[in-house]
Amino acid sequence: MAGRRRARTGRGWDASPPRAGDANTTPRPRRGRRDRSEETDPEATPAPPRDEAEVAREICLRQLAVRPRTRAQLAGALAKRGISEEVSAQVLDRYDEVGIIDDAAFARAWVTSRHAGRGLARRALANELRQRGVDGDVASEALGELDEETEAETARALVERKLRSARGEPDAVFRRLVGMLARKGYPPGVAIRAVKDALAAQSAEAAEFAEQVDADALADAEGELDRDTRPLD
């Protein structure tokens, strides 16, 4: 017995590595690892192709979840994803029927929001609606809700706000403010009168300059220049 190796010492089990020839030295297989053949099974059945209409509906709903879209915008998104025109028309027609797509409501909301938030006039708003594919008649109906009086009041408010931080001679300020309103789509007559009235109420020097401005004549001249430089459709 003295020559036999003891498996247990007085202080615990012998932790030394097993000797060659000892029993139970076969390594155990590692757990948690799958055979590679299970991961790449050549007999696996490929997933069936998805229905094109289902894909088109998912694309539209993702687009609409971000913000409202016009029919033309959704059609463009479907075309970019390779959806056929036939399937695109079917899906969009159905969305029209149930009211998910409503270009008239889109146009009204766009006009209200952009006029109140950015102070855009009807001309600029018409251009934005056209870029988004809104039909001309639908756009005109929405723009009709923005009357001339409201447009003139907004122009005056924009000018008064800009005047608080404007610096320079009255003529330079006048040109900058008229240009600002023109970029927002205001007609020359509306822009010039709004700036003239605001300057007249600002200071004696500005009022003296404003008194010399012939708003009607200047508006006619600006209108003719605008028509000459406007690109043809």
pTM: 0.70
Q: DSSP letter string over 7-44?
A: SEETTEE--SPPPTT-TT-SPPPPSS---HHHHS-TTP
For the chain, the distance separating the N- and C-terminal CA atoms, rounded to the nearest angstrom, is: 110
- The mean pLDDT of the chain is 81
Question: 26-30, 95-99, 164-168: which has the highest mean pLDDT?
Answer: 95-99
Polymer length in residues for the chain = 233
pLDDT tens-digit profile of 103-133? 999 999 999 999 999 999 999 999 999 999 9
Type of residue at 136: G
Predicted pLDDT at 26: 57
| Two tokens, residue 132 | 């988004």
* 3-class secondary structure, 150: helix
φ, ψ (nearest 5 deg) of residue 186: -80, 140
As a whole number of angstroms, the distance between CA 89 and CA 68 comes to: 18
Predicted pLDDT at 25: 54
pLDDT tens-digit profile of 12-60? 545 555 555 555 555 555 555 555 545 555 555 666 667 899 999 999 9
| Two tokens, residue 196 | 């003239």
Buried (b) or exposed (e) across 212-231, using 16+ Cβ within 10 A?
ebebeebbeebeeeeeeeee
Please name the residue that has the structure tokens 């300020």: 173
